[in-house]
Amino acid sequence: MAKSILKGTLQKEEQNGAERSILDELRFRLRKAYFRCAKASEKRKDFDGACELYLNALEVASPKKENSNKNTNHLSEALAALVARDQVSIKFICDDYARRIFDAETPNPLTFSRDGKGLTLIRPESARMSKKRVSSLLLEYSVGEEKRVRDEWLKFTSLRNGVESSVFQLNSSTSAKFTKSKRKSIARGFLSGIRARAYLRADNVIQAAKDVKAATYMCKDVIAFGGAFHYERALCCDRLLVEENITRTEIAQGGEEGIGHENDNLVVESQVACALFAKRALETEEALSLKEKEEEEDNEKTPSSSMSFSTTRARAIQIYQSYSDKMQARLTDPVKAALRKGSVFALTFLDKDKWENEVPEYMRPKPKYFYYYEWMKDRIKEYYPELPQCVLDKLLSLDGAELDLLLQHPQAIRGQTEEFLQVLDEKGEKFLETYKTPQLSWEEVQALRVSEAKKKKLLENQQNDDSDYSEEEDTDHAMIGASGDDGLTKAEKLGKPILPLLPPDQRREKAKLDALKRDMAKDSQKLLQQNTTRKGGRVEDISDFQNENEEPTTKTAGGVLLDAMD
């Protein structure tokens, strides 16, 4: 009765925006009521009911209060004691998992329709299992694994309430506390892994593979849950290969774990992926076993508890080791050798092998300004086919505009290269790396251009003097079928454009017409020379005219022509 009254009052005050001190006082009283009811349930040996009351008390704790963890330590310890004594039933744990999964699958109105409040929705909807079905499948999975299942559930509950130990992080030098967002992400990944177990038992391997992939990715910085998720991911990959014929599997995302580049995920053969995940499971379980031993020594646990933990871990390590050896037996020797050095080294090896052998050359990553350097190397090799590598690197280290200007003028690039070669011979390679040379001045560039222009003009004049192809008649090799004995003309050798010639019959007609025109032109010129010209009405020379026409003419004393000719 007191719990329901306090709970209703707390909800009402939170809605009305009451002061923090009032809310904290109500939370404290409600936690106290839950704790007393839980102790009473323990006396009645209703351990599942007591465990549920402890969970309700932990959820009431104020997340904004700095000493909230200190006020809830007794609740966490009481819950851990129930789990350590195996007094919490597996059915209660499976029901708790099913309830949390069902709540997380509820569609979130603030996000896309494909997402739930905590988990990705199952598609199609008909493939989604009920809460009762999930609980029963998880109960089947837990047979023979009761100790590990209880341990995982306790760590999951502690993490959600902000109570973490040193076993939650692989690197002991970092802080053992996660941020609220990080805890939420890890809890979401853990629930995905739990849901994967249920769907794997239901033979929905595709959905199980999706969920266990999310679990291994979100919980990759946590070793508290051991290598179970990695082992289950290896099992999913193996079943997908056999049942669905999925031969390739993604094992790492671009930009994560030092692999590849952004948006370049690492995809390998499914057999290699199985072996890699099995190796990760083995490494994670061994690291967790070592961490738990250290924590046991620090906390001075009871010998029986220590023996129980060590036995559970030893059995899991043996299973993972056997499965890892079985998966590696199907691989090639280079991949086997890489896996023996660890999963991180194997991941790097596989990524390097991908870019060297599998990816086409045009997709492989290239250094900065790769094509610029290749272009400049080709231009330099036109003048110096063989250069010491240090001299070539020194030329490429020059300013881009300066190097391009040098390569435009043969005299300049030769002078610069000879200078670097001389420095290399006299001072050595180390001195050449720091050697600085002044850039070309404007006057030097102009002098180079004038000198090259003069050389070019002189060369053109020499070619014009030596070639008489314009005066000789070109042979139309297309007309005679390239069967001439005289070979190519100079114009043809130089690649000059040549006008096509007429066919032989048309050429003869054209030659006759040209000869006739020349004769007519000569006759016209002769007649023009014989014609008389009049200047001021006087006759300059009519002797030739009279001889040809034989007609008499009379002159006056002044020499004026009196005879009017018809």
DSSP string, 480-533: TTT--SS---HHHHTT---PPPPPHHHHHHHHHHHHHHHHHHHHHHHHHHHS--
pLDDT digits (tens, 9 = 90+) for 330-354: 999 999 999 999 988 998 888 888 8
Buried b / exposed e over 110-134, threshold 16 CB at 10 Å, is eeeeeebebbbbbeeeeeebebeeb
Provide the pLDDT confidence category of residue 319 given band limits of 50, 70 and 90: very high
Minimal CA–CA distance to 148: which of 226, 264, 87, 214? 226
Residue 38 pLDDT exceeds 70:
yes
Instruction: DSSP for 272-337, please give it.
Output: HHHHHHHHHHHHHHHHHHHHHHHHHHHHT--HHHHHHHHHHHHHHHHHHHHHHHHHHTTS-HHHHH
Instruction: DSSP for 152-209, please give it.
Output: HHHHHHHHHTT---GGG-S-TTS-SPPPHHHHHHHHHHHHHHHHHHHHHHTT-HHHHH
Residue 428 pLDDT exceeds 60:
yes
Residue 13 contacts residue 39 (beta carbons within 8 Å) = no
Task: Enumerate the domain spans of the chain.
Answer: 1-87, 370-451
pLDDT digits (tens, 9 = 90+) for 499-529: 666 777 787 888 888 888 788 777 777 776 7
Residue 198 contacts residue 138 (beta carbons within 8 Å) = yes
pLDDT digits (tens, 9 = 90+) for 256-265: 655 655 556 7
